[in-house]
């Protein structure tokens, strides 16, 4: 999948914000979905970083994202609010 400027910006911000990330958590565009949907992937490392924290940070810094898909679940602003997170 082709990385866009938005995806590269989000990945760079994740590495900058989460000092131990170093590319462990990264996102890409999700094919066959709306432009507001991205996929969150986990590579090697970043063991102390909760995927909910990553999704919360993305929603706080990137208003163009509406849905974050992971391998077994998904996050929206509404589901995080229902879980008690402040966006």
List, as one string, the DSSP characters of the chain.
Answer: ----HHHHHHHHHHHHHSTTTTTSEEEEEPTTS-TTEEEEEE-SS-TT--HHHHHHHHHHH-TT--EEE-SS-EE-HHHHHHTT---
- For 57-81, what is each residue's pLDDT tens digit? 999 999 999 999 998 899 999 999 9
> Does the structure show a pLDDT above 70 at 22?
yes
Note whether residue 44 is domain-resident.
yes
* CA-CA-CA-CA torsion sign (39, 46, 15, 3): negative
Domains identified in the chain, total number: 1
Q: 25 lies in a domain?
A: yes
In a domain? residue 66: yes
**Residue 50 forms part of a structural domain:** yes
Average pLDDT over residues 7-12: 96
Residue 87 belongs to a domain: no
In a domain, 72, yes or no: yes
The pTM assigned to this predicted structure is 0.92
Domain enclosing residue 78, as ranges: 5-82
- pLDDT-derived band of residue 1, with 50, 70 and 90 as boundaries? low
- State how far the Cα of 47 lies from the Cα of 81, in Å rounded to an integer: 24
């Amino acid at each position: 999948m082709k990385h866009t400027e938005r995806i590269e910006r989000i990945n760079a911000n994740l590495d900058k914000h989460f000092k131990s990330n170093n590319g462990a958590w990264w996102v890409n565009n999700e094919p066959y979905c709306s432009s507001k949907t991205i996929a969150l992937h986990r590579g090697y490392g970043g063991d102390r970083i909760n995927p909910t924290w990553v999704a919360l940070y993305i929603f706080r810094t990137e208003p163009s994202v509406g849905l974050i898909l992971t391998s077994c679940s998904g996050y929206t602003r509404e589901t995080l609010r229902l879980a008690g997170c402040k966006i």
